[in-house]
């Protein structure tokens, strides 16, 4: 059988994997299969500059269209893989095709968590995961009016920021006691609530949405469990995502909160690899298995998988990092703060728009949230990877340059 790598999915990990396979010297056939009508594109801009209309689709492509032709990568768009047959090493598509692979890479990504509530199918109810979603939301942006955001996480608040800048009346409904509750300390959450309110956004926490109401098929209001209702011309729901593991499950691959892979992105089948949001992988630096929803993770796992397919062992071992852009704020997070026992603040979150929160566990630095603080973010990357302890009073002292912080490491 001739060498043929089939990549299922056409997102960040797929685009990076195709590029990395060629960089690693792979000369065989590569086929990428994606169910959207677009070549791989970057998703972060969808809730930021692309949603705002500041950039077009050509600016969000992961690689330009000519890249795939130049690197001899066959791209099948608008196509869904329906089955993996491990015995015959083939995949079947909804277009009636059967492709034989020597190695298979699953980059199936994730999908939005949907709300199965009354009125969920009304016109004007949106999620934000792909270009088509953005185009639908933008059609309402142009009309102004009222927007309700369900969910106060990254996506919800990023959409709220763009909508507010477009002069739209925005209300955010968050079921938890604070926004971004899953990823940040209350200090950071309160800061973001303050900024959004200063920008004219209404934020209601502890608000459980119970349904959507409309007239003639068009959304008119969002109802909550406490009996309150909020008028809306359109709503954007952002309540999390789910890994796309169905193909792996049906192929009897090991799946535990994502497709289980080893440090080189191999699944339980040595000829099948997986990378990106859909995976659950070991992180030797943190000493635990993780499923990450992160562009950085998708890109780095794709590089690791491509190397392994080419017979090169380049184990994936990095500290996770994330970011969010809202208004003039760049939030950069490095590490995972779960389990911290002390939060150390550098700067003033109650005034201005620049500070950092360091998370310590038994004195050891495990994560940082940096808002408009690039030096704190960059230096913390190195410190967290080394697993060092830094005295809280040193982290707090803004008279100490972050580049000098390593000198206080224990």
Q: Which residues pair with 358 in a beta bridge?
A: 344, 368
Could you give the CA distance from residue 285 to residue 296 in angstroms, rounded to a whole number?
16
> b/e string for 93-126 if b means 16 or more Cβ within 10 A?
beeeeebebebbbbbbbbebeebeeebeebebbb
pLDDT given for residue 50 in this prediction:
94
pLDDT given for residue 144 in this prediction:
79
Could you give the CA distance from residue 203 to residue 223 in angstroms, rounded to a whole number?
15
Q: How many CA atoms lie within 13 A of 202 on its CB side?
A: 12
CB 202 within 8 A of CB 192: no
**Which residues make Cβ contacts (< 8 Å) with residue 182, sequence separation at least 6?**
153, 176
Which residue do the tokens 């206080």 mark? Answer: 408
Could you give the CA distance from residue 230 to residue 146 in angstroms, rounded to a whole number?
9
Tokens of 217: 């098929």
Question: Which residues of the chain are under the pLDDT cut of 50?
Answer: none
Tokens of 275: 């990378």
Phi, psi angle pair for 353, to nearest 5°:
-140, 40
Could you give the CA distance from residue 110 to residue 231 in angstroms, rounded to a whole number?
31
pLDDT given for residue 1 in this prediction:
52
For every residue of 106-169, DSSP letters joined together read E---EEEPPP--TTTTSBTEEE-SSHHHHHHHHHHHTT--EEEEE--SHHHHHHHHHHHHTT-E
């Amino acid at each position: 059988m001739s060498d043929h790598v089939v990549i299922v999915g056409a997102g960040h990990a797929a685009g990076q994997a195709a590029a990395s396979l060629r960089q690693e010297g792979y000369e065989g056939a590569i086929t990428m299969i994606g169910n959207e009508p677009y070549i791989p594109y970057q998703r972060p801009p969808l809730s930021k500059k692309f949603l705002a209309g500041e950039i077009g689709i050509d600016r969000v492509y992961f690689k330009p269209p000519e890249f795939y032709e130049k690197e001899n990568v066959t791209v099948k768009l608008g196509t869904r893989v329906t089955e993996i047959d491990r015995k015959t090493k083939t995949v079947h598509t909804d277009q009636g095709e059967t492709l034989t692979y020597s190695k298979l890479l699953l980059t199936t990504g994730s999908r939005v968590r949907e709300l199965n509530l009354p009125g969920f199918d009304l016109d004007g109810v949106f999620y934000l995961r792909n270009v088509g979603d953005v185009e639908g939301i933008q059609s309402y942006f142009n009309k102004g009016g009222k927007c309700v955001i369900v969910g106060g996480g990254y996506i919800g608040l990023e959409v709220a920021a763009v909508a507010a800048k477009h002069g739209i009346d925005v209300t955010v409904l968050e079921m938890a006691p604070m926004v971004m509750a899953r990823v940040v300390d209350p200090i950071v959450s309160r800061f973001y609530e303050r900024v959004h309110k200063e920008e004219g956004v209404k934020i209601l926490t502890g608000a459980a949405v119970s349904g959507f109401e409309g007239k003639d098929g068009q959304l008119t209001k969002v109802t909550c469990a406490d009996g309150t209702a909020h008028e809306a011309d359109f709503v954007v729901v952002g309540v999390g995502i789910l890994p796309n593991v169905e193909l792996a499950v049906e192929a009897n691959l090991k799946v535990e909160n994502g497709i289980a892979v080893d440090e080189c992105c191999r699944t339980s089948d040595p000829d099948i690899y997986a990378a990106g949001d859909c995976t659950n992988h070991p992180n030797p630096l943190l000493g635990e298995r993780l499923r990450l929803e992160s562009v950085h993770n998708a890109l780095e796992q794709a590089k690791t998988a491509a190397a392994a397919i080419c017979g090169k062992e380049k184990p994936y071992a990095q500290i996770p990092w994330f970011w969010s852009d809202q208004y003039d704020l760049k939030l950069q997070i490095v590490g995972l703060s779960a389990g911290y026992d002390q939060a150390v603040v550098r700067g003033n979150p109650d005034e201005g728009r620049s500070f950092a929160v360091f998370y310590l566990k038994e004195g050891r630095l495990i994560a940082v949230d940096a808002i408009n603080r690039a030096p704190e973010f960059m230096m913390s990357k190195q410190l967290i990877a080394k697993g060092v302890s830094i005295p809280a009073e040193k982290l707090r002292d803004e008279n100490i340059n972050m580049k000098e912080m390593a000198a206080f490491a224990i």
